[in-house]
A and B are shown apart, each in its own frame.
Chain A
């Protein structure tokens, strides 16, 4: 069975500080990993996917198959980054989400 683990329910950092949201996965094949974000009062939306190797809103995520991780990083947090972040994996069982991390950026 495929599984996504986000160990932090809540992460609070100050504006301008680096951010790292942790995501670990369990999957026997080659995974496809995503980060979804939900800003306050908005719908869930795709932030980035590992195959694109892109930076969106200053965020990056690198797939580490050895550590089975896909951590989301940003060097300098901004207040508008405050949101719920969900790591997700597509595998044989479809799209599986982690439980989410609530990121709070303090001014």
Chain B
């Protein structure tokens, strides 16, 4: 593929709805990251996968947030019972190896979530 892809690009949800955001990393990339970027802020780390293993989920803001990567490629970020404060751009990134250090992360275009 040409790069990391994310879908949908835009999502509007009513407060209380569940949403699922998809990330297709670059083929063969071992590491996958999710970030949340609020308006006027830099991206903030949510969670990290090495293949199918979720090695770090310390950035997930609450137990309403859940991420999975069952086959070590595509990942889904699920937000249950969405709240207005969940409105943000959700970025996915992948990198070639399991080493976080030194390795460039390739970012997707993001999914802009608006919770009404």
Contact = CB atoms under 8 A, between A and B. Distances in A.
Interface in A2-61: 4, 6, 9, 32, 43-46, 49, 51
Dominant secondary structure of chain B at its interface with chain A:
loop
B25 interface: no
B45 A44 contact: no
A73 interface: no
B1 interface: no
Interface in A55-86: 86
Interface stretch (B11-19, B73-81, B107-115): B107-115
Interface in B66-116: 91, 93, 100-102, 104-110
Contacts of B3: 43
A99 B42 contact: yes
Given A44-B107, A45-B107, A94-B56, A51 B102 contact: yes
Contacts of B101: 32, 90
Contacts of B58: 93
B57 to A, nearest CB: 11
A95 B101 CA distance: 9
A95 B100 contact: yes
A95 B33 contact: yes
Contacts of A46: 104-105
Interface of B: 3-4, 33, 35, 40-45, 48, 56, 58-59, 91, 93, 100-102, 104-110
16 contacts: A9-B40, A43-B4, A43-B107, A43-B109, A43-B110, A44-B107, A49-B102, A49-B104, A86-B43, A93-B45, A94-B56, A94-B100, A95-B45, A95-B100, A97-B35, A97-B44
